[in-house]
């Protein structure tokens, strides 16, 4: 570690209160010049809140405590104020405008102009220089929504570099990235470090934290617990987890003794085409089944067609020219809408909880009951007392950290939002639950709770399909695994025969065949 003279940032006794909740309680943080410093903690621990205080999103006067940046006290009222000092935050939800070009996005709000006229030639030239720094070779005029999430994340960093960033805050930057894009982004952080840029990294992926960070500050329940020095070598993930949850978490995946019954659900000869490009097949002649009491994992790289498969089954919410057969308990079923799927006892938890899963401007109560209004109403009139009791029961049983079921879901942490979606579909009492990236962007403690919920469901004889990009997760919770690539099912493994190496080998072999 560097000496105290090299401290670039010090946050002293930061306390931030929301109605009914103390989000930060006398938090202290010291960051050294030129280091990569990680903030770790469970969902709701206060990591993002602390960074919003630092960057002026929560302005001076709305919190208690002091911020010293380069040994000077800061009283930021807006994000513009912090950016003027070289502090730039990149949020988990990308803030790019999808219909503008790369160049327009990088310089929006910071336009290169003279007398109100933008110098587009200079915009293009500067954009090309910045893209080169982050390892992209795109045309500055490329519209952002045509690019992958990984490339958009790098454009966010290029945008930060355009503001002469000195302290870069990255909030879950790899949550939506595949392994290659994540690796590239981590390498870029190490390169920025060489250039003297200080980084603060918020991440639930502890292997990434261990790989790149010099220091790790752990928050728990809104308080700073400890700072670990990683400059001498990697800190074991179990040590970080212990600080986060306050105890040893010896097994990341709760034990379960499978009691697998008859086949509950089958998909036969299933084909789905891209609705925007009807000649492109996204799901190609897929055949799968899942039994009562069984967890079936679907592994594959991003873009393999797993989400498209799940959404097309769930009331044809994705796809065109869908063909094939769905069979439940030996009988063919016809599902044309989401209501048909719910009535047939099928539920789907989307990978995109913020945009497609939750109504963020409504409360926990309504988000839980929205798919089961028939259970809380009589002749079209909702019985509010029944609704409140149901929502309150789930708030307690699912350990949703909130002072009330009337709290807006948009104010919850990612893990608690995920529990609200799970509560919704468990309340609907499905026979088959399809979970798409159920633990993306949430911490190890919340993950364990969700795995326990999955175990409880299959113990009741329900069937669960889990789609996950994290191979350890698929291996840790599944009884059987399908492997998907380029819209096709290329393998099926019993869990006793499955390893990361076997799964990746099958994917690589399939990709090589596609390339021939």
Kindly report the CATH number assigned to the domain that includes residue 47.
Answer: 3.40.50.300
Domain residues for the domain of 438 are 251-345+430-516
Report strand pairing: 117-118 vs 113-114: antiparallel
In this predicted structure, the answer to whether residue 278 has a pLDDT above a threshold of 90 is: no
Q: Are residues 410 and 435 in the same domain?
A: no
**What is the tally of structural domains in the chain?**
3
Q: Are residues 236 and 256 in the same domain?
A: no
Which of 429, 462, 489 corresponds to the end of one domain? 429
Q: Is residue 183 part of a domain?
A: yes
Looking at the fold, whether 437 and 317 belong to one and the same domain comes out as yes
What is the four-CA torsion angle of 469, 472, 476, 478, rounded to 10 degrees? Answer: 40
198 and 63, same domain (yes or no):
yes
Residue where a domain stops, chosen among 215, 245, 275: 245
- Whether 351 is in a domain gets the answer no
Task: Please tell me whether residues 191 and 289 are part of one structural domain.
Answer: no
Q: Assess if residue 94 is contained within a domain.
A: yes
pLDDT at 250: 60
> Are residues 58 and 168 both part of a single domain?
yes
pLDDT of 249 reads: 60
Nearest CA among 321, 309, 406 for reference residue 351: 309
Contact 398/453 with Cβ under 8 angstroms? yes
Local confidence band at 234 (pLDDT 50, 70, 90 cut-offs): confident
What residue spans of 428-499 are helical by DSSP H? 444-459, 471-477
pLDDT at 368: 96
Number of neighbouring beta carbons within 10 Å of residue 474: 25
429 CB-near residues (< 8 Å, 6+ apart): 345, 372
pLDDT at residue 405 tops 90: yes
In a domain, 203, yes or no: yes
In a domain, 474, yes or no: yes
Assess whether 298 and 435 both reside in one domain: yes
334 and 213 in one domain? no
Max CA separation in the chain (angstroms):
74
The reply to whether 341 and 361 lie within a common domain is no
Residue 217 included in any domain:
yes
> Which one of 401, 429, 457 terminates a domain?
429
Query: Within a 13 Å sphere around the CA of 317, how many CA atoms are in the beta-carbon half?
Result: 18
Per-residue pLDDT band for 3 (boundaries 50, 70, 90) equals very low
Do residue 160 and residue 68 come from a single domain?
A: yes
Q: Is residue 350 part of a domain?
A: no
The neighbour count for residue 484, using CB atoms within 10 Å, is: 25
Same domain, 325 and 362: no
pLDDT at 277: 85
Give the pLDDT band (50/70/90) at residue 247: low
Do 333 and 471 sit in the same domain of this protein? yes
For the chain, give the percent of residues with pLDDT over 90: 64
Residue 441 has pLDDT above 80, yes or no: no
Mean pLDDT rounded to a whole number for the chain? 90
């Amino acid at each position: 570690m560097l000496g105290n003279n090299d401290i670039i940032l010090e946050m002293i006794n930061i306390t931030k209160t929301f109605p009914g909740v103390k989000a930060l309680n006398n938090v202290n943080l010291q960051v050294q010049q030129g280091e990569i410093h990680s903030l770790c903690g469970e969902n709701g621990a206060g990591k993002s809140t602390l960074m919003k205080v630092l960057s002026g999103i929560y302005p001076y006067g709305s919190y208690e405590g002091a911020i010293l940046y380069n040994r000077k006290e800061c009283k930021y009222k807006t994000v513009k104020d912090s950016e003027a000092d070289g502090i730039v935050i990149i949020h988990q939800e990308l803030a790019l405008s999808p219909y503008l070009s790369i160049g327009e996005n990088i310089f929006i709000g910071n336009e290169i102009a003279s007398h109100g006229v933008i110098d587009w030639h200079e915009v293009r030239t500067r954009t090309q220089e910045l893209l080169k720094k982050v390892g992209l070779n795109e045309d500055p005029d490329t519209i952002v929504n045509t690019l992958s999430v990984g490339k958009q994340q790098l454009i966010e960093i290029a945008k930060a570099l355009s503001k002469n960033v000195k302290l870069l805050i990255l909030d879950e930057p790899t949550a939506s990235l595949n392994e290659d894009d994540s690796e590239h982004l981590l390498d870029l952080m190490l390169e920025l470090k060489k250039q003297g840029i200080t980084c603060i990294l918020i991440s639930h992926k502890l292997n990434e934290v261990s790989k790149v960070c010099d220091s790790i500050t752990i928050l728990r329940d809104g308080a700073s617990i400890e700072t670990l020095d990683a400059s001498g070598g990697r800190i074991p993930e179990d040590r970080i987890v212990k600080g986060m949850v306050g105890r040893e978490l010896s097994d990341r995946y709760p034990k379960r003794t499978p009691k697998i019954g008859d086949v509950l659900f089958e998909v036969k000869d299933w084909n789905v085409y891209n609705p925007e490009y009807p000649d492109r097949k996204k799901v190609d002649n897929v055949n799968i089944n899942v039994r009562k009491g069984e967890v079936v994992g679907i592994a594959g790289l991003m873009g393999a067609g797993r989400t498209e498969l799940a959404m097309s089954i769930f009331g044809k919410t994705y796809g065109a020219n869908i063909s094939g057969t769905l069979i439940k308990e030996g009988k063919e079923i016809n599902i044309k809408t989401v209501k048909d799927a719910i009535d047939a006892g099928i539920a789907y938890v989307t990978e995109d909880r913020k945009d497609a899963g939750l109504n963020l401007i409504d409360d926990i109560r309504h988000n839980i009951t929205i798919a089961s209004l028939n259970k809380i109403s009589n002749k079209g009139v909702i019985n509010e007392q029944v609704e409140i009791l149901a929502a309150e029961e789930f708030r307690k049983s699912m350990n949703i950290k909130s002072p009330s079921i009337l709290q807006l879901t948009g104010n919850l942490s990612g893990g608690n939002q995920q529990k609200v979606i799970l509560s919704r579909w468990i309340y609907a009492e499905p026979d088959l639950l399809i979970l798409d990236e159920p633990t993306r962007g949430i911490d190890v403690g919340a993950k364990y709770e969700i795995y326990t919920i999955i175990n409880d469901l299959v113990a009741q004889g329900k069937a669960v399909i889990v789609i996950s990009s994290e191979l350890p997760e698929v291996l840790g919770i599944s009884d059987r695994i399908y492997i998907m690539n380029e819209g096709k099912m290329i393998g099926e493994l019993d869990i006793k025969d499955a390893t990361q190496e076997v799964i990746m080998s099958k994917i690589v072999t399939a990709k090589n065949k596609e390339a021939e």
